[in-house]
Structure 1
Amino acid sequence: MSTSEELIHRHVASFNAADPEALLVDFTPDATWVTGQYTVPEGQLREFFTTAMEGLTPHLRLHRIIDGGDTVAAEMTETWTHEGNERTAALIAVFDVVDGKIARAKIYREGSADA
């Protein structure tokens, strides 16, 4: 398994453990996160992930990783709860990796990026 693949596996495990601190270890200080049309403002990744994990209780299931070295794509299924209803969507996450950390993530979710 490549270093980039290990990074993505660690990212998914931290996300599923609802552990924003462990999750943020693998991001560059100036990392960008884009979901749909929404870009998380710089410096607000901790708040973004903490709020999502508390309110939506999301869970990712990793299907495969396409390792392009500095660019890695991951095909996943996300399940979350919104207003008491469980929802599921297929997604592709594209990660830009710099020095072994996530510098940018762009999430393409089937349907809408909105909960």
Structure 2
Amino acid sequence: MCRTEDLVRRHIDAFNAHDVDALLADFAPATEWVTGDYTVPAGQLREFFVSAMESITPQLSLLRIIDGGDVVAAEMTETWTHNGADRSASLIAVFDLTDGKIARAKIYREGSADA
């Protein structure tokens, strides 16, 4: 497995463990995170992930990684609970990498990016 795949798998493992410190360790200092039409404001990634992990308890299942070098796509299924209802959606995450870190992520979720 290449280092790029290791990075994506480590990201998913940290996400599923709700380990925000491990999750953020692979982000560049000024990472841009876009999910649906929402861009997380600069400096608020920690708060964004903590809030999501506490309120909807999301989990990701990796289907495949498409390694384009400095741009990587991961096809996944996300499951979460919202207002007591279990939900799931297919998603694609496109990661732009700089110096081995995630510099930008754009999340495309089937249907709506809203929970």
Answer yes or no: same fold by TM over 0.5.
yes
Q: TM-score, normalised by structure 2?
A: 0.99
Shift of 1:2: 1.2
Task: Please provide the CA RMSD for this pair.
Answer: 0.4
* Identity among equivalent pairs (%): 70
Post-superposition CA distance 1:77-113 (Å, at most 9, x none): 0000000001000000000011110000000000000
> Structure 2: any 5+ residue segments left out of the alignment?
none
1: CA distance, partners of 2:46 / 2:11:
14
2: CA distance, partners of 1:103 / 1:4:
13
2: CA distance, partners of 1:33 / 1:81:
22
Matched, 1:89 2:95: no
Matched, 1:29 2:36: no
Q: How does 1:43-62 map to 2 (within 5 A)?
A: 43-62=43-62
Q: TM-score, normalised by structure 1?
A: 0.99
Secondary structure of the residue aligned to 1:24 is helix
Equivalent AA in structure 1 for residue 20 of structure 2: P
Matched, 1:9 2:12: no
Equivalent AA in structure 2 for residue 110 of structure 1: E
Shift of 1:10: 0.1
Equivalent AA in structure 1 for residue 66 of structure 2: I
2: CA distance, partners of 1:108 / 1:74:
10
Equivalent AA in structure 2 for residue 72 of structure 1: V
> Structure 1: any 5+ residue segments left out of the alignment?
none
Which runs of 4 or more aligned residues in structure 1 lie more than 6 Å from their structure 2 counterparts after TM superposition?
none
Shift of 1:44: 0.2
Work out the number of aligned pairs and report it.
115
Post-superposition CA distance 1:41-89 (Å, at most 9, x none): 0000000000000000000000000000000000000000000001000
Equivalent AA in structure 2 for residue 40 of structure 1: V
2: CA distance, partners of 1:12 / 1:94:
13
